[in-house]
Structure 1
Amino acid sequence: MVSAVKKMNVVQLTVLTAINMLGSGIVLLPSKLAQVGTISIFSWIVTALGSLALAYAFAKCGRFSRKPGGMGGYAEYAFGRSGNFMSNYTYGVSLLIANVAIAITAVGYATVLFNMKLTPIGVAMATAGLLVLTTVANFGGARITGQIGNVTIWGVVIPVLGVSVLGWFWFDKSLYVAAWNPHDMPLLEAVGASISITLWAFLGLESACANTDAVENPERNVPIAVLGGTLGSAVIYIVSTNVIAGIVPNMDLAASNAPFGLAFATMFTPVVGQIIMGLMVIACIGSLLGWQFTIAQVFKSSADVGYFLKLFAKTTAKDVPIVGMLVLLACQVALTLMTISPDLSKQFDMIVNLAVVTNLVPYLMSMAALMTMQKVAGVTPRDAMFTNAIAYIAAAYSYYALYSAGANAMMLGGIVTMLGWTLYGTVSRRFMTVDAIVVTDPVINADAGTARGQ
């Protein structure tokens, strides 16, 4: 009875799910969408529907899966150990890339807040410095990181909810209409141009299914909470980004590295805008702090079962994988230097598209494995039909998002994914058994065939 009291109800889990998604992903969204125009509202609708399909399918995955490892465990149902490895590998790589994008977001806001003019090298150095700072800050363990994150998340939530509610008092319909399609793009092209950045805001929706053991009646409440949280986030995203488009002129918004600060400065005073920018810088740093620890744990958990190099499993007395953190940090700094651009916004685009592409690999593998998962769980084909249909819709949206990410992101994402197969080849021997060895000697095979014939 005591444990039941301590568990979350469906409302609490729904709110938690929405807050988990309302992270740093939205901070630069108004500027990125302004570069396309307010016609990007159609991208929001497409992404919201696709994300709801993904959320529903992941809720079902969490219900039927009996394997550990999150999306890696889901993929293992259909693709075996190699699928588990590739799912966790691409997910880990996508987090590594996404953290660089979060750091760039914080640097962008900080440059406006402190009125700094940084060269491309200066942006890269500031981004690398922030990545180093948040990595070293995690050496103290998960407890401090979690406490900081619980506070700093409100640096995003308060401004986003504030502009969604109060912004309508400053909303100018003529500004919104004038920003509809500033580059006269065809509808499908305009929608595709902003699919990646809208999906970026929803990445992490699969993590909402991790609370199954902490909620009352999980079979009923987890799907409701995941769908409700995703739908609630979608409404907040759509409202906040579109109301800003009716407050700030499109050209100013598209050129801004701190769109929420600009909106609040327009609504109230420049001082209020600076306060909002400060809150969002703090929120980005807090988010980055948490994700830097999370990515190290993702690599550690895979190293513990033999998928990744053993160095990622080494921990200190406080159970902190410092060696793995430093290796991942080196990769992030290298990525920061490799993507240096004269325009901070373009560097952000490049990294976000690559993060989206790599993150969609485990999404697609999970969707493909859902049919097998249901069969193993004893679900009848008739009962599984609706869930399978939703999984196909989610997969179709994922492929569309891959296509919309662009050829460059697809090429780099493909290279990163193929590298994973090489890495799996170096560790796969750890899982080999005598029964799994395929005999390739033609003489032995011939003898085996004769024996079977007898």
Structure 2
Amino acid sequence: MGEPQASAAKATEKAFQDISPGDTGPSGKLGLGAAVALVIGNIVGTGIFLLPASLAAIGTVSILVLVLVAIGAIALAIVFGKLGGRVPAGGGPYAYAREAFGEFAGFWVSWSFWLTAWLGNAGIAFAWVGYVNYFLKWDSTGGKIAIGLVGLWIPALINLTGVKNIGLFQLVTTVLKFVPLIFVGIVGMFFINSGNFPAFNAQGGSTWGAISLAAGLILFAFSGMESVTIVAERIKDPVRNIGKASIYGVLACAAMYLLATIAVFGTVPSEQLAKSEAPFADAINAMFGGSSWGGVMAACAIISGIGALNGWTMLVAEMPLAAAKDGMFPDAFAKESKRGAPVTGIIMGTLLTSLMLLYAYLGSEDGFNTILLLASFTTAIPYFFSAAAQLFWLVTGGREVNKGRMARDIFIASLALVFGAWIVYGAGADAALYGMLMMLVGIPVYIWVKAKRGQYGPGEGTTVTTAKTVS
């Protein structure tokens, strides 16, 4: 792996350590338990707190899709485990793309990750607004935008102070992410009323279209499964533990999501749920009556959301910071304040997230779905490249492989590849169009940074030379 990707991996590792639960221990290495906690902590975000409302509008077919997406995610987790053993230096999907397909592929996957990070923040903020509004009851669009912008810029200001290691706060917010999901998922099973479930295909159109739409939305809830591959250098016995941590983390989240979604579907009438801005709070109220318990649930989601926004605001800035220091991103992103805060990355990332939030409220009929589908598209690109890298190494002999397990590994890699392509399809035409346009913006950026390094072509050390004009 080249120096730009190595440094990016180190900075991303630092960011993930700051926003993730678990102790590295005296050796500074994450054991299997801590690695699983890292995966779960980075998969579960605030978006899941609003997702049941979006899925209710699609129908109970979403439950089947959740299982299918979980299977695809497990295939990807297995692929990540194999890739982690082949490229143990860390860096995750962008390192795999670079090793298999060259520098530009690595850059493009890194660019996609950066897009996903600030787009995802907009999704977290949108969901967060619904739970804040559980108390404020600001029904106007302007009021909701104001709440969302406050939720985005408070973490930005915290990050600008350079205060990154707020471990206790992150631990508390991580716990508060799990409490509502686990509680509703388990206790809610005793309050299910089959009459509350939506129709199998509530939209009434093509069943395949409903399945693909639900898949595009659900993938966003699984993004972060690659976390452990990015910090591979910090994992004990990475060849074995990266795969195990990824699979165990995905399985735990899939079970939690499935139980919680079924419970919310079964406790809140479908028409109410499809319009809900705080479905988990509504589910608790439906179980126990009144609104006090729903308020507790909403408060958990609010605190959890601030923690998620704080951590991912940091990540949005850390990734371009490392790339810029190695000449793979514009120089402005390498500048740090006296407190060590990557000012340009924080401000630029939060501005872009704010614009996306404004678009979700003012330019889209269904803002949350718009954000999730766009973020799913940008997330699927690195996943697709990772599966392609594994398949490339298997069939070309680019890396050492176990020939006895060749057929099984090719099947799993092919399944993961098809899964990534399916998510791109499921994101829909609009998300694919806008997402591709955003991806294409990265090409001029790549040209710019290559020119500043005095390079041309695929070689990392190739210098620009001037040829004589032939008349």
The two structures have a TM-score, normalised by structure 2, of 0.86
Give the whole-Å Cα distance in 2 for the aligned partners of 1:274 and 1:358: 34
> What does residue 311 of structure 1 align with?
332
Instruction: Give 1:262-341 correspondences, 5 Å limit.
Output: 262-268=282-288, 269-341=290-362
Sort the Cα spacing of 1:38 and 1:371 in 2 relative to 1 into closer, same or farther, 3 A: closer
Sort the Cα spacing of 1:342 and 1:440 in 2 relative to 1 into closer, same or farther, 3 A: closer
From the two aligned structures, give the one with the greater helix fraction.
Answer: 1
> What does residue 222 of structure 1 align with?
242
In 1, are the aligned partners of 2:188 and 2:267 still within 8 Å (CA)? yes
Sort the Cα spacing of 1:100 and 1:146 in 2 relative to 1 into closer, same or farther, 3 A: farther
Within the candidate set 247, 254, 261, 2:274 is matched to 254
Letter in 2 for 1:247: T
Give the whole-Å Cα distance in 2 for the aligned partners of 1:198 and 1:41: 10
Runs of 4+ in 1 over 6 A off after TM superposition: 2-6, 438-442
Bigger shift: residues 142-151 or 80-89: 142-151
Sort the Cα spacing of 1:385 and 1:147 in 2 relative to 1 into closer, same or farther, 3 A: farther
Give a deviation string over 1:88-137, Cα, whole Å, max 9, x none.
11110111111011111111211122222122x33223322321111011
In 2, are the aligned partners of 1:171 and 1:243 still within 8 Å (CA)? yes
Which 5+ residue runs of structure 1 have no aligned equivalent? 445-454
Give the whole-Å Cα distance in 2 for the aligned partners of 1:420 and 1:62: 26
Give the whole-Å Cα distance in 1 for the aligned partners of 2:167 and 2:324: 23
Residue 357 of structure 1: CA displacement?
A: 0.9
Do residues 71 (structure 1) and 65 (structure 2) align?
no
Sort the Cα spacing of 1:115 and 1:4 in 2 relative to 1 into closer, same or farther, 3 A: closer
Report which of the two structures shows the higher radius of gyration computed on alpha carbons: 1
SS of residue matched to 2:338: coil
Do residues 25 (structure 1) and 47 (structure 2) align?
yes
In 2, are the aligned partners of 1:14 and 1:226 still within 8 Å (CA)? yes
> What does residue 393 of structure 1 align with?
415
Instruction: Give 1:176-195 correspondences, 5 Å limit.
Output: 176=197, 179-195=199-215
Residue 428 of structure 1: CA displacement?
A: 1.6
Which 5+ residue runs of structure 2 have no aligned equivalent? 1-23
In 1, are the aligned partners of 2:112 and 2:379 still within 8 Å (CA)? yes
Sort the Cα spacing of 1:342 and 1:257 in 2 relative to 1 into closer, same or farther, 3 A: farther
> What does residue 448 of structure 1 align with?
none
Within the candidate set 156, 165, 168, 1:135 is matched to 156
Provide the aligned C-alpha RMSD in A.
Answer: 2.6
The two structures have a TM-score, normalised by structure 1, of 0.89
Letter in 1 for 2:229: C
Number of residue pairs aligned between Structure 1 and Structure 2 = 440
Do residues 168 (structure 1) and 189 (structure 2) align?
yes
Give the whole-Å Cα distance in 2 for the aligned partners of 1:18 and 1:263: 23
Sort the Cα spacing of 1:304 and 1:339 in 2 relative to 1 into closer, same or farther, 3 A: same
Sort the Cα spacing of 1:265 and 1:220 in 2 relative to 1 into closer, same or farther, 3 A: same
In 1, are the aligned partners of 2:84 and 2:90 still within 8 Å (CA)? no
Give the whole-Å Cα distance in 2 for the aligned partners of 1:388 and 1:108: 43
Give the whole-Å Cα distance in 1 for the aligned partners of 2:281 and 2:244: 34
SS of residue matched to 1:340: helix
> What does residue 21 of structure 2 align with?
none
In 1, are the aligned partners of 2:58 and 2:202 still within 8 Å (CA)? yes
Give a deviation string over 1:244-293, Cα, whole Å, max 9, x none.
11111100111100000000111123101011101101111110110000
SS of residue matched to 1:306: coil
Do residues 237 (structure 1) and 223 (structure 2) align?
no
SS of residue matched to 1:35: helix
In 2, are the aligned partners of 1:47 and 1:198 still within 8 Å (CA)? yes
